[in-house]
C-alpha cells in the first residue's frame, strides 16, 4: 500500500516564531515580517522547507520571530552562510534577512559575490538608513548631510545604491519595497521566492527611534510604484536610471529580472542527482550526529 503524505494548508499564524518581536513600536520591520509570513503561507510552503539566515542587527533578529529553520550568524556573513546551506540542499527555500549596515557595510563583499554567482537566495534587506541596534550611527545608506550620533555635523559620504550595485554585479531579481505598502511587498516577495536565482529586495523600513529624516511621512510623499509607470523589468539600463532617482520621486517595485541566467547550484554537476545531504551511502547514526554537533559547539 502506498501512503501519500499531504501537508495541511497553513496560514500566516503558522509561521509565527517562538518569541515575540522586540522591535520598537512602529518599526518598519514588523510589516516585512508579516508580509513574509503571509507570502510563504500563500505559496503553500511548510516551515521545514524554509531556512531563514541572518547576520547581526535589529532586523537580523528576524529568524527568531519567524517559524521555520533559522540561523542567526555573524555580522555581515549571512549571505556566505546561506550560500553553504543552499549548496548543501538545493531543495530548500532560503530567506536571508538583515539590515543595510549588515548587508551593504561589513557584508558588502559577500553581497557583491553572491550576486555575481547568482546563488538562489531571497535576500530581504530592511533598510532604515542608520545603525539602529547600536543606537543611531551613520550607515552605508545614510544620505549626505544626515546628522547622527557619529556625524553630528552631517554625513559627508555618499550613500551606496543597492539597486544599481545588485544589477551591475549580476543579481537576476532586483526590487525595492516600502514597509508602508504591504500589498506590494507581498507581490515582490512572492516573485523573489519563485525566481530561480539571486533575488534582492531592498525595503525602506523606517527606524522610528533614531532616524528622524527618512520617516513614513518622508517616503509616503515620494514613493512611486514602478508597476504604475509601465516599466520593463527586462531593461537593465532603464532599471538603473530609475534606481538613481532620489528626490520628489523615489521608485519602488521590481526594477530588474532575468530568469534566463542559471543559478549557481544548477551549474554544479555534483548536484545533478540529489542534494549532498542525501548522497551519503548510509545515514548518520545518532551518536555520529551528536559528535559532529558537539565539535561545532
Let me know if residue 289 belongs to a domain. Answer: no
Quote the percentage of the chain above a pLDDT of 90: 88
Whether residue 115 contacts residue 170, with contact meaning beta carbons closer than 8 Å, is answered with: yes
Whether residue 95 contacts residue 51, with contact meaning beta carbons closer than 8 Å, is answered with: yes
- Report pLDDT digits (tens) over 132-180: 999 999 999 999 999 999 999 999 999 999 999 999 999 999 999 999 9
| Residue 176, pLDDT score | 98
CB atoms inside a 10 Å sphere around CB 89 = 16
| Residue 270, pLDDT score | 82
Residue 229 has pLDDT above 80, yes or no: yes
CA 142 to chain centre: 19
- Report pLDDT digits (tens) over 260-274: 999 999 998 888 878
Let me know if residue 296 belongs to a domain. Answer: no
User: Within a 13 Å sphere around the CA of 130, how many CA atoms are in the beta-carbon half?
Assistant: 27
Q: Give the separation between CA 100 and CA 159, rounded to whole angstroms.
A: 11
Let me know if residue 57 belongs to a domain. Answer: yes
Whether residue 32 contacts residue 205, with contact meaning beta carbons closer than 8 Å, is answered with: yes
Helix (H) or strand (E) holding 173: strand 173-178
Q: For the chain, what is the mean pLDDT?
A: 94
- Report pLDDT digits (tens) over 55-107: 999 999 999 999 999 999 999 999 999 999 999 999 999 999 999 999 999 99
- CATH of residue 203's domain is 3.40.50.970
The more confidently predicted of residues 297 and 25 is 25
Whether residue 82 contacts residue 96, with contact meaning beta carbons closer than 8 Å, is answered with: yes
Q: How confident is the model at residue 283 (pLDDT cuts 50, 70, 90)?
A: confident
| Residue 6, pLDDT score | 58
Let me know if residue 284 belongs to a domain. Answer: no
Q: Give the separation between CA 297 and CA 293, rounded to whole angstroms.
A: 6
> Average pLDDT, stretch 42-59?
97
Let me know if residue 239 belongs to a domain. Answer: yes
Let me know if residue 41 belongs to a domain. Answer: yes
Residue 3 has pLDDT above 80, yes or no: no
Let me know if residue 279 belongs to a domain. Answer: no
Let me know if residue 3 belongs to a domain. Answer: no
| Residue 259, pLDDT score | 95
Q: How confident is the model at residue 278 (pLDDT cuts 50, 70, 90)?
A: confident
Q: Give the separation between CA 95 and CA 36, rounded to whole angstroms.
A: 10
Task: Copy the grid coordinates of residue 92.
Answer: 530548500
Residue 112 has pLDDT above 90, yes or no: yes
**Residue ranges making up the domain that contains 225:** 12-267
Q: Give the separation between CA 282 and CA 128, rounded to whole angstroms.
A: 47
Q: How confident is the model at residue 8 (pLDDT cuts 50, 70, 90)?
A: confident
As for how many domains the chain has, the answer is 1
Q: Give the separation between CA 119 and CA 95, rounded to whole angstroms.
A: 12
Closest by CA position to 107, among listed 81, 146, 136 = 81
Q: Give the separation between CA 74 and CA 8, rounded to whole angstroms.
A: 35
Q: How far is CA 254 from CA 60, 149, 193, in A?
A: 23, 34, 13
The more confidently predicted of residues 276 and 170 is 170
DSSP per residue over 75-144, as a string? Answer: TT-HHHHHHHHHHH-TTSEEEEEEEHIIIIIITHHHHHHHHHHT-S-EEEEEE-SSBTTTTSB--TTPPT
Whether residue 12 contacts residue 34, with contact meaning beta carbons closer than 8 Å, is answered with: yes
Amino acid at each position: 500500500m502506498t501512503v501519500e503524505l499531504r501537508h495541511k494548508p497553513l496560514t500566516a499564524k503558522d509561521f509565527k516564531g517562538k518569541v515575540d518581536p522586540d522591535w520598537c513600536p512602529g518599526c518598519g520591520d514588523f510589516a516585512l515580517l508579516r508580509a513574509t509570513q503571509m507570502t510563504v503561507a500563500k505559496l503553500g510552503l511548510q516551515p521545514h522547507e524554509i531556512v531563514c539566515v541572518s547576520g547581526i542587527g535589529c532586523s537580523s533578529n528576524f529568524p527568531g520571530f519567524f517559524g521555520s529553520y533559522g540561523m542567526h550568524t555573524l555580522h555581515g556573513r549571512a549571505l556566505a552562510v546561506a550560500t553553504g546551506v543552499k549548496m548543501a540542499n538545493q531543495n530548500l527555500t532560503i530567506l536571508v534577512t538583515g539590515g543595510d549596515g549588515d548587508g551593504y557595510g561589513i557584508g558588502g563583499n559577500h553581497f557583491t559575490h553572491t550576486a555575481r554567482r547568482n546563488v538562489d537566495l531571497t535576500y530581504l534587506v530592511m533598510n532604515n538608513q542608520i545603525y539602529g541596534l547600536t543606537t543611531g550611527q551613520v550607515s552605508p545608506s545614510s544620505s549626505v548631510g544626515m546628522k547622527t550620533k557619529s556625524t553630528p555635523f552631517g554625513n559627508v559620504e555618499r550613500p551606496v545604491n543597492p539597486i544599481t550595485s545588485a544589477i551591475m554585479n549580476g543579481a537576476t531579481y532586483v526590487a525595492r519595497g516600502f514597509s508602508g505598502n504591504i500589498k506590494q511587498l507581498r507581490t515582490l516577495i512572492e516573485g523573489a521566492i519563485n525566481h530561480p536565482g539571486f533575488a534582492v529586495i531592498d525595503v525602506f523600513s523606517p527606524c522610528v527611534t533614531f532616524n528622524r529624516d527618512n520617516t513614513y511621512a518622508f517616503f509616503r510623499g515620494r514613493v512611486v510604484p514602478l508597476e504604475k509607470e509601465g516599466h520593463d523589468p527586462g531593461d537593465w539600463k532603464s532599471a538603473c536610471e530609475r534606481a538613481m532617482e532620489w528626490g520628489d520621486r523615489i521608485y519602488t517595485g521590481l526594477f530588474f529580472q532575468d530568469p534566463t541566467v542559471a543559478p549557481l547550484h544548477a551549474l554544479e554537476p555534483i548536484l545533478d542527482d540529489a542534494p549532498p545531504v542525501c548522497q551519503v551511502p548510509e545515514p548518520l547514526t545518532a551518536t555520529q550526529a551528536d559528535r559532529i554537533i558537539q565539535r561545532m559547539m
